[in-house]
Amino acid sequence: MGSLKIYISDELEKRFKESAKRTYGYKEESIGMAAKNALEEWTYKVRKAKMTAEVPEDPVEAIWGMLSEVKKEGVELQHEAGKIRAKKLEHELSD
């Protein structure tokens, strides 16, 4: 079995331990159970978000000619695309 050592704020630690004990009872393994479930849920959401993102094999060919009427520079479009992807991923992870 693996183990992790993480550093979090005192306030987060306090809230996490209180929530774990209220959810799983006031027993020694409650914090470990809560941490395991939190990590499983987070990794599931990340994997789900990555699986839904479709990346074409050749992105240049995929957009060839499609942007001919756009009056922005390539760098501007790249920055906008990054922001859109980040918002989409953030939204998917919060579901």
Place of tokens 């599931």: 44
Q: From CA 55, how far away is CA 85, in angstroms rounded?
A: 12
* Number of structural domains found in the chain: 2
Clarify whether residues 27 and 65 are in a common domain.
no
Clarify whether residues 43 and 9 are in a common domain.
yes
Q: How many helices (H) and strands (E) does the chain have?
A: 4, 0
Q: 49, 43, 22, 46: which is closest to 34 by C-alpha?
A: 22
Tens digit of pLDDT for each residue in 67-91? 677 888 889 989 999 999 999 988 8
Clarify whether residues 62 and 84 are in a common domain.
yes
Place of tokens 């859109």: 84
Q: Which two tokens stand for residue 42?
A: 């987070």
> What is the extent of the structural domain holding 26?
1-52
Clarify whether residues 4 and 46 are in a common domain.
yes
Q: Which two tokens stand for residue 4?
A: 């992790």
Place of tokens 């027993």: 27
Q: Does pLDDT of 95 surpass 80?
A: no
Tens digit of pLDDT for each residue in 1-51? 889 999 999 999 999 999 999 999 999 899 999 999 999 999 999 988 887
Clarify whether residues 5 and 19 are in a common domain.
yes
- Which has more pLDDT, 19 or 93? 19
pTM: 0.52
